[in-house]
Amino acid sequence: MNINSPFSHRSPEPENSVLYVVGTPIGNLNDISHRAIQILKNVSLIACEDTRQTKKIMNKFEISNNLTSFNKNNSFKKIPTLISELKEGKSIALVSDAGMPSICDPGEDFVRHAKLSKIDVVCIPGPCAAITALVASGMPSSSFIFEGFLPKKKNEREKILLEISNNHKTTILFESPHRLKKLLMELKKYCGGEREIAVSRELTKKFEEHTGSNIDKVYDYFEHKEILGEITLVIKGINKKENLEFNKIIIKKELYELIDAGLSLSSASKYLAKKKNLSKSIIYNLY
């Protein structure tokens, strides 16, 4: 394909040797596009995260096609085979269980390898939980940060939580229902209980729910509830004045903890000054 050609000059879809990244519904199956249905009906093969989930869409829209499993457990082995099939002239549709492929799933690696192999990649846009939750939250959406699922390793997780606490932009996170309360407690620790937050659950489904207020109130709401469904969190950015005052509280807390652990005020101040990239006198005067 000539990269300077307008997309309107493309041949009828699907084309041979093209990887189609197909957005599918995040809950309500009626959100699928007509174009997505036509691609799924007519490609040579559909690579899907879970064949059982994809079959729900296929059954509803009377789609009959070949499926192959493609997920985090087998993607490393599957990618070379799928690339070979694309080079042989097959067209492949890549779908995830819900939403846009490559967002927090191994589709990202497949697309990258296809690009490196000079294979055309065409995105068939569809629903996205992150954008849906952001728009519904009413928070600033012109500029935002998407973190997906936070890492499980303590050091990596704490680093991102600290970044979120200092972000001036809106932050979007994914979380599983059984870990939501833990995450809210962590956000309270790093961002303060007054930080504005919105938690969206079961987006586009029958029991869709949006809970928005500050972190304290949202935690109280979920504390004694059984939480089900997929969770998307939207966290408002902090303004510069709030950022400065909250950082002082965090640093002061760390300073007292270091002194309680046996360090002198001078040593603790010197350590935190280097860690926070501040002058020693600023930290010293917080004591």
Give pLDDT tens digits for 91-103: 999 999 999 999 9
- 4: its two tokens: 């300077």
pTM: 0.78
Using a 10 angstrom Cβ sphere, with 0-12 exposed, 13-18 middle and 19 or more buried, the burial of residue 120 is middle
d(CA 210, CA 207): 10
Measured CA angle at 226 (ends 221, 228), to 5 deg: 105
Q: What is the pLDDT of residues 148-192, one digit of tens each?
A: 999 999 999 999 999 999 889 999 999 999 999 999 999 999 998
Q: How many CB atoms lie within 10 A of CB 214?
A: 17
Burial label for 261, CB within 10 Å (0-12, 13-18, 19+), is exposed
Confidence band, pLDDT 50/70/90 cuts, at residue 242: low
Q: Which domains does the chain have, with CATH numbers?
A: 7-127 (3.40.1010.10), 130-238 (3.30.950.10), 241-284 (no CATH)
Yes or no: say if 77 and 54 are a contact pair by the CB < 8 Å rule: no
Grouping H, G, I as helix, E, B as strand and the rest as coil, residue 67 is strand
pLDDT band at 1 (very low <50, low <70, confident <90, very high): very low
Beta bridge partners of 44: none
Burial of 262 (0-12, 13-18, 19+ CB in 10 A): exposed
Q: Please, are residues 67 and 55 in contact by the beta-carbon 8 Å criterion?
A: yes
pLDDT recorded at residue 286: 82
- Give the integer Cα–Cα distance in Å for 69 and 59: 17
Whole-number average pLDDT of the chain:
91
Q: What does the pLDDT read at residue 79?
A: 97
Q: Within the chain, where are the H helices?
A: 34-42, 51-60, 75-87, 107-116, 129-137, 154-166, 180-191, 215-222, 240-260, 265-276, 280-284
